């Protein structure tokens, strides 16, 4: 009977909701502070993301007159649930890799789509023309980056000899090979798009569609979106670390290494964010399907050849 | 202190409304958001939608056309919120007073729909970005 309170503790406190939210808000502070330093500014204090969420919790919630109320209210919670499950799963596998089945790479890919789907649903339900433009852009963006992302994971699955369990994949370091590094770079760009960071912030660009997909959200509902984005800032780089860079340890040097890898991925994301202008949606689509698709086709062939002829570095 | 007010002071997100300004105050507001003044230090952020805003930066005299829109934007802003009348025109219609198209100043337009609205005034033609920061700080410490 102690199974249920134990699972609830995992999901709600550690390593699920509370832990990931705190970590995510700190990560979002790092993003803002680093962007400020790049622009020769001082930047916000450490508690800024926490205060932002707190303030939004205390504000009035406005629901547009023509909105589809149920979907409008449920969408942020669906998105949060998806990313919460994803982060809990990843942390559980990290902490206890010998546990029989927590989830594999396919479950993770499904859960990673959920926040984007929730954003599309919520913004379509809000009856705002700006949100409709944002939703259509988000939809196209999801369609463009999902294919390269899945292909990048296919490369990893080939490299690891057909493993789909995350615990088994985390034992390999596929990035130390030609196909692995190509797949890692493309997956990094896909994660950039998933997080809505600058070259791919097409769906919520402030200057064009006035924060697009989340334009009609206010108060606590907006706070849930912010928390969701903060948690994705933990879960998605963590997922990349587990799949490509050999995962996290739980104690001693492997833990320090793990944190180093996470910070490396985060810094790469921030640098891409700060040195690029926003793309148009057609440019993003061409980029993901054309260049990234081609790169990954080569990577898949290289990985398969390397597997067949037993050449490790391919 | 009330946690809602405290957190509001620490992270005021602003939305910029032009109610018939000559664009001069707007340029100064855009100046305010440049890296030189770095208002993100105080948690101030420009947002794209009044639904996410805590403060409205209103410029301009409040023309007949703009007044209705200004009231609509004010209704769309979740409360508690603060209205900043930026510039001489917004504070007291300035050189356009008695114009055929003027129904302002801004405070009168806002108070038509909400008599208890919190309104702060930053005079000047246009006010300097420093004056705006000082105005925001004074208004927030009076909350």
pTM, rounded to two decimals: 0.87
Q: Is the pLDDT of residue A251 over 80?
A: no
Of A16-25, A122-131, A211-220, B7-16, the least confident? A211-220
Q: How far apart are CA A116 and CA A128, in angstroms?
A: 18
Tell me, rounded to whole angstroms, the distance of Cα A265 from its chain centroid.
12
Q: Name the residue among A41, A58, A217 with its Cβ closest to that of B51.
A: A217
Interface contact flag, A51 B11, Cβ < 8 Å: yes
Run of H or E residues at A17:
helix A17-38
What are the structural domains of chain B?
Answer: 7-141 (3.40.50.12280)
Q: How far apart are CA A108 and CA A80, in angstroms?
A: 15
In angstroms and rounded to an integer, the radius of gyration of the C-alpha atoms of chain B is 14
Tokens 């994705």 sit on residue: A232
Q: Name the residue among A41, A43, A52 with its Cβ closest to that of B11.
A: A52
Interface contact flag, A44 B40, Cβ < 8 Å: yes
pLDDT value at residue B1: 66
pLDDT value at residue A29: 92
Judged by CB atoms within 8 Å, which residues 52-81 of A form the interface with B?
A: 52, 54-55, 58-62
How many CB atoms are closer than 10 A to CB A165? 17
Give contacts of A47 with chain B, Cβ < 8 Å: 10
Owning domain of residue A165? 3-309
In a domain, A264, yes or no: yes
The token pair at A239 is 């997922």
CA distances from A276 to A268, A269, A272 (A): 12, 11, 6
Residues whose CB falls within 8 Å of the CB of residue A98, separated by 6 or more in sequence, listed in order: A167
DSSP category for residue B90: H
Q: Is the pLDDT of residue A295 over 80?
A: yes
Task: Please write the tens of the pLDDT for every residue from A273-292.
Answer: 888 888 888 888 899 998 99
Based on the structure, what is the number of domains in chain A? 1
How would residue A38 be classed by pLDDT, with cut points 50, 70 and 90? confident
Task: Please write the tens of the pLDDT for every residue from B62-105.
Answer: 888 888 899 989 988 888 888 999 888 888 888 888 888 888 78
The full DSSP string for B71-125 is HHHHHHSPSS-EEEEESHHHHH-GGGTT-TTB---HHHHHHHH-TT-EEEEE-SS
In a domain, A314, yes or no: no
Contact A195/A188 with Cβ under 8 angstroms? Answer: no
Higher pLDDT, A223 or A96: A223
Contact B104/A85 with Cβ under 8 angstroms? Answer: no
């Amino acid at each position: 009977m102690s199974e249920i309170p134990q699972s609830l503790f995992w999901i709600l406190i550690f390593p699920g909701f509370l832990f990931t939210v705190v970590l995510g808000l700190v990560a979002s502070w790092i993003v803002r502070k680093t962007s400020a330093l790049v622009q020769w500014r001082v930047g916000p204090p450490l508690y800024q993301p926490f205060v932002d969420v707190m303030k939004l919790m205390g504000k009035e919630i406005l629901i547009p007159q023509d909105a589809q109320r149920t979907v409008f209210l449920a969408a942020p919670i669906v998105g949060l649930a998806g990313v919460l499950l994803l982060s809990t799963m990843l942390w559980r596998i990290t902490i206890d890799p010998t546990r029989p089945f927590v989830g594999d790479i396919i479950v993770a890919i499904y859960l990673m789509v959920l926040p984007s789907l929730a954003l599309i649903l919520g913004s379509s339900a809000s009856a705002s023309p700006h949100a409709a433009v944002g939703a259509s852009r988000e939809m196209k963006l999801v369609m463009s980056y999902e294919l390269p992302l899945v292909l990048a994971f296919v490369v990893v699955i080939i490299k690891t000899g057909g493993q789909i369990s995350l615990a088994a994949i985390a034992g390999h370091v596929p990035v130390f090979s030609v196909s692995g590094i190509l797949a890692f770079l493309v997956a990094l760009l896909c994660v950039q798009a998933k997080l809505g960071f600058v070259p791919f912030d097409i769906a919520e660009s402030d200057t064009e569609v006035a924060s697009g997909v989340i334009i009609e959200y206010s108060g606590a509902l907006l706070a849930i979106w912010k928390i969701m984005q903060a948690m994705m800032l933990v879960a998605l780089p963590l997922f990349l670390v587990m799949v490509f860079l050999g995962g996290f340890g739980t104690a001693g040097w492997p833990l320090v290494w793990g944190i180093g890898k996470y910070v490396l991925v985060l810094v790469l994301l921030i640098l891409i964010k700060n040195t690029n202008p926003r793309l148009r949606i057609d440019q993003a689509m061409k980029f993901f399907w054309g260049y990234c698709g081609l790169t990954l086709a080569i990577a898949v062939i290289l990985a398969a050849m390397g597997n067949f002829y037993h050449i490790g570095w391919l | 202190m009330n946690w809602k007010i405290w957190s509001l002071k620490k992270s005021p997100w602003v939305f910029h409304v032009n109610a018939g300004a000559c664009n001069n105050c707007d340029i100064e507001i855009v100046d305010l958001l440049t890296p030189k003044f770095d208002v993100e230090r105080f948690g101030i952020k420009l947002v794209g939608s009044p639904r996410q805003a805590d403060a409205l930066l209103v410029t301009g005299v409040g023309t007949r056309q703009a007044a209705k829109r200004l009231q609509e934007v004010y209704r769309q802003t979740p409360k508690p919120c603060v209205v900043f009348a930026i510039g001489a025109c917004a504070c007291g219609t300035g050189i356009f007073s008695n114009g055929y198209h003027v129904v302002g100043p801004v405070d009168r337009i806002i108070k038509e729909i909400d008599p208890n609205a919190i309104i702060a005034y930053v005079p000047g033609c246009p006010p300097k970005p420093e004056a705006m920061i000082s105005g925001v700080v004074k208004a927030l410490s009076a909350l």
